[in-house]
Amino acid sequence: MLFNSALFIGGFLPVVLAGFLLLAGMGRQRAAALWLMLASFVFYGWWNPAYVPLLAASILFNYLVGGRLIRHPSRPLLVAGIAANVLMLGYYKYTGFLVETLEHVAGTHWSIDQIVLPLAISFFTFQQIAYLVDAHAGVVKDHDLLDYALFITFFPQLIAGPITHHGEMMEQFRDRAVFRPRMDAIALGLTVFLVGLFKKVVFADPLGERASPVFAAAADGAMPGFGEAWGAALNYTLQIYFDFSGYSDMAIGLGLLFGIALPANFDSPFKARNVIEYWSRWHMTLTRFLTAYLYNPIVLRITRARMAAGRPLPRRGRMSPGTFVALLAWPTLFTMFVSGVWHGAGWQFLVFGLLHGLYLVVAHGWRAYKASRGRAPDSDHWLARAAAVLTTFVCVVVAMVFFRAADVPAALSLLAGMAGLHGAGAAAPAEVAVGPLSPLQQVAALVRSDAALIVGLLAVVWTLPNTQQWMRHYRTALDWHVRPGWMERWSGLATWRPAPALGAAVGVAGFFALALAFSAAPTEFLYFQF
């Protein structure tokens, strides 16, 4: 069931919200929580009821293992619990890819039936691994099956995040104030939801229609020309930006309808001045998970081993190349390798992860070099900032080609086109061709057709406040401190306040988005495939 479908907006959501408000208004906190949990299972099972038992079994298994770890911490049990989760994820997500790779490399001639990937398995697996680690560490103080099941299944964040932490969610589920109907929270939630829906159906979906033909042609062996390749890469980069931003807004808005604040997962990442900052703004809860449960433990283990061997930590700004590689470079590359593999089973995702790992290593190395000379990590001069933002954006676009392409050869074909190696007007799919024009005229026509839209949307991305900044005077995302933008400093008009005119404007935009959403078959959010 999709957030942008008529079934969800006109059927499922009103029924679930009405039942919740009725039970919460009667003071039946546990009944309201149970209602939400059951509704979340219905939401999950609507796509494929066969996978509901898998989700329920995963929840029960981790609940029991977590309870045991709380009472009797045991490293072997923790390792076994994590291994069980990883094996389940690996079976459903990577078995087909591994068998295909072995067939290609070793000629094994093995074959298996197609394994359908259960929705959200990457997301709820990571959440439960974090829970087990924290239970073993003594961070989980109490244990309740209903709260735990609702923490995993809460439908606004179940399918594509954010990857929530048990501490921030269960505390809300136990708070009686949360389960008290509040009209201000409902108004905020509807506003944020409609903003996200607008991003999805007005911006993201049309961009995808522009990008897909060129990527499909590259997968079929065509060689896109310079204009076609750059148009496809930029259209897709903006598509996934507005698609994921829209989903993140819709998830936060839905949570607010039920009085639940979800963590922010998206904070204008294309305004980042380097890739380090980019990953602190894009899929923020995934970055938080990988940093806390993978990168930091690796660095801590290496640090302890070095200290035990009598090798002290380097002084600030004085890191030798060997120390830089040991403490930062390879842990970063490994963490981003895991990030790439987490996103999908394919060599293109592995390249995507390692490419971002390389970006991060270079960015950290440049910062270390500047620190060794007593210079600030980033310049605040507007020209230097603009150059840094543009450079970071181009790096992200290059990586996004691997993220979207069907395979590595298709990605390399797109990149070759972007580099001009296929000429100005190479073979293009029929959907992109504009008639019997010369190659140069074809490129010019393609650039003109896409340029206004791309430039306009980049202006939106780089200049306007994001949803959290726009609504910064009200509690939307959980424990999030909004970064002020230039427009907020210049004009108080860039802030959402409950007012008739603004309400009418949001209502008209929301009605337009709803009309578009209901007029055609809803498209999936891109992160549903991960």
Q: What is the 3-state secondary structure (H, E, C) of 7-54?
A: HHHHHHHHHHHHHHHHHHHCCCHHHHHHHHHHHHHHHHHCCCHHHHHH
Cis before 224 (ω within 30): no
For 89-99, write each residue's pLDDT tens digit.
Answer: 999 998 888 88
pLDDT at residue 382 is higher than 90: no
Beta bridge partners of 126: none
> DSSP string covering 160-190, please?
T-----HHHHHHHHT-TTTTS--HHHHHHHH
pLDDT at residue 426 is higher than 50: no
pTM (2 d.p.)? 0.89
**In Å, what is the CA distance from 461 to each residue of 104, 243, 269, 458?**
42, 13, 9, 5
For 315-348, write each residue's pLDDT tens digit.
Answer: 655 667 767 777 788 899 999 999 999 998 899 9
Which ranges of 46-154 does DSSP label H, i.e. alpha helix?
52-71, 75-106, 121-137, 145-153
Active site residues: 343
% of the chain beyond a pLDDT of 70: 89
Dihedral angle computed from the Cα positions of residues 88, 405, 201 and 288, in that order, rounded to the nearest 10 degrees: 50
Residue 432's pLDDT band (boundaries 50, 70, 90)? very low
Residue 212's pLDDT band (boundaries 50, 70, 90)? very high
Residue for token pair 């801590």: 300
Domain boundaries, the chain: 6-181, 184-269+425-530
**pLDDT winner (highest mean) among 371-375, 405-409, 471-475:** 405-409
Residue 179's pLDDT band (boundaries 50, 70, 90)? confident
CA 205-127-140 angle, to 5 degrees, is: 150
Nearest-angstrom CA–CA distance, 229 and 238: 14
332: tokens are: 């970063």
Predicted pLDDT of residue 377: 75
Nearest-angstrom CA–CA distance, 167 and 347: 35
Nearest-angstrom CA–CA distance, 408 and 472: 42
Nearest-angstrom CA–CA distance, 167 and 136: 14
CB-based contacts of 505, cutoff 8 Å, min separation 6? none
Which residue, 346, 391, 23, 389, is CA-closest to 178? 23
Which residue, 87, 246, 54, 79, is CA-closest to 153? 54
Q: What is the mean pLDDT of residues 33-39?
A: 96
More confident residue, 47 or 340: 340
pLDDT at residue 83 is higher than 80: yes
305: tokens are: 């081993």
Radius of gyration of the chain (CA): 24
Average pLDDT, the chain: 86
Q: What is the mean pLDDT of residues 201-223?
A: 91
